[in-house]
A and B are shown apart, each in its own frame.
Chain A
Amino acid sequence: MTQHAEGELSPEVVMAEMKKNGVTHVVWLPDSETNFLYLLMEADPDLDLIPVSREGQAFSTAAGLTVGGKKPVILIQNTGMMESGDSLRGWGLSLNIPVVMMVGYRGWTRHGVNTDTAATYTERFLNAFGIQYYLVESGEDAPRISVAFEEASRTRRPVAVLVGDEYHGFNR
């Protein structure tokens, strides 16, 4: 088990939020920033992991799972989310799919100057689609994940959680 300092966003906290909100499937594209979470998810017999090879597939997969009464979460990076615009529009928004997408906020920095265009366009992309989003940077922000699940369910729309843990743990 990896040790995490107080305040950091640990994979265990993210997992606890998923379990609390009844997540049944994790549709995701692995990347180095989420590897710690992967090990925990893989070890959990109650979670079904569905790996995709292009992020757009995650939205249509999640739509199908939702139609059948399951509760998927999408776990991708901001780069792949931007690649997925038409799938988000068609399979997410137009089918009223209440799915939370947890998005690794590559390039996010609260200190200094952003030098990564992946971060530059992330929130602009979400705003263009009218997708509500919540920034989660530390363990103290973790309850926002539940807020996102509640909002997705209530509005029957995709809602994003931007994982902006700048230096530690989940997003390193």
Chain B
Amino acid sequence: MIDTADMLRAFAPHRGNSIVIPGRGGRHWTEISDQPNRDLPVGDPAMGGHASFGLGVALSLPEERVILFDSEGDVLMNMGALPTIAEKAPANFYHFMLDNECYATTGGQPVPNAKNIAYDVIAKGSGYPATYAFDNLEDFASSIEEILGQPGPVFVALKVEPEVENTPIGARVRWQTRSRTQVIDDLKGELGIEGP
């Protein structure tokens, strides 16, 4: 199992100018990122949509490298997004998936068949040309260059430690420092994108 913050710190030096959608890793990434205006920490607008959102961003900005930190709960909720990503095959899209084997934000209940799913195999079977799976930080850290050095879409499954929350949602401390719409407007400003 990998500590999510450690994993993101290992990834950070390889980020370059990539657009990063931190997904479930957003809490840590906002403290690590050195280019917040190139990040899209939109939180969790509706569970299951991050992969398709990442696809849309990647297709709309083919000159930019787009990196998504998805979760296994999200992927399970909309597994049909994987064949769409594979069909559209955005060469600039890198799909990392944090697998903590549970629904951490609701108290840590296991996802279906939590310990026996090979997400990298599912991604491969969906048509991703390259897939990886890691359960320790050292192997992941030594492979980041290889992962990002090839054309996308690439899928990377990462076994991470659960960060279980039991506090009622309304009582949790917000880690977001900007609203979702501000995050989007900041990225558009950074890239010079006009329009609504």
Residues of A within 8 A of B (CB): 25, 48, 50-54, 56-70, 72, 86-87, 89-91, 94-96, 98, 153, 156
Q: Do residues A67 and B46 form an inter-chain contact, with CB atoms below 8 A?
A: no
Q: Do residues A68 and B60 form an inter-chain contact, with CB atoms below 8 A?
A: yes
Q: Do residues B80 and A69 form an inter-chain contact, with CB atoms below 8 A?
A: no
- B21 CB to closest chain A CB (Å) equals 9
Give every chain B residue within 8 A of A50 (Cβ-Cβ).
55, 59, 84, 88
A66 to B42, CA, bound (A): 14
Q: Do residues A52 and B80 form an inter-chain contact, with CB atoms below 8 A?
A: yes
Give every chain B residue within 8 A of A64 (Cβ-Cβ).
52-60
Give every chain B residue within 8 A of A96 (Cβ-Cβ).
181, 184, 196
A70 to B193, CA, bound (A): 10
Q: Do residues B193 and A59 form an inter-chain contact, with CB atoms below 8 A?
A: no
A64-B56, A67-B188 given; name 20 further pairs at CB < 8 Å: A51-B84, A52-B52, A57-B49, A57-B80, A58-B52, A59-B49, A60-B46, A60-B56, A69-B191, A69-B193, A69-B194, A69-B195, A86-B47, A89-B46, A91-B53, A94-B45, A96-B181, A96-B184, A96-B196, A153-B196
Interface pairs (16), CB distance under 8 Å: A57-B84, A59-B46, A60-B45, A60-B48, A61-B55, A63-B56, A64-B55, A68-B56, A68-B60, A68-B193, A69-B191, A69-B195, A70-B56, A70-B59, A70-B60, A95-B180
Give every chain B residue within 8 A of A153 (Cβ-Cβ).
196
Give every chain B residue within 8 A of A87 (Cβ-Cβ).
46, 48-49
A54 to B51, CA, bound (A): 13
Chain A CB within 8 A of B187 CB: yes
> Per-residue 0/1 for B50-82: is the Cβ within 8 Å of any A Cβ (1 yes, 0 no)?
111111111111000000000000000010110
A90 to B52, CA, bound (A): 13
Complex: chain B residue closest to A57, CB-CB: B52
Inter-chain contact count A-B, CB under 8 Å? Answer: 118
Q: Do residues B59 and A68 form an inter-chain contact, with CB atoms below 8 A?
A: yes
For chain B, the count of residues having a C-beta within 8 Å of the partner chain is 37
Residue of B56, B87, B187 touching A65 (CB-CB under 8 A): B56
Q: Do residues A53 and B80 form an inter-chain contact, with CB atoms below 8 A?
A: yes
Top 4 A-B pairs, shortest CB-CB distance? A64-B56, A68-B60, A90-B46, A60-B49
A7 to B50, CA, bound (A): 42
Q: Do residues A95 and B42 form an inter-chain contact, with CB atoms below 8 A?
A: yes
Q: Do residues A156 and B196 form an inter-chain contact, with CB atoms below 8 A?
A: yes
- B82 CB to closest chain A CB (Å) equals 9
Give every chain A residue within 8 A of B58 (Cβ-Cβ).
64
Q: Do residues A67 and B78 form an inter-chain contact, with CB atoms below 8 A?
A: no
**Contact A56:B78 (CB < 8 A) given known A64-B53, A68-B60:** yes
Complex: chain A residue closest to B61, CB-CB: A68
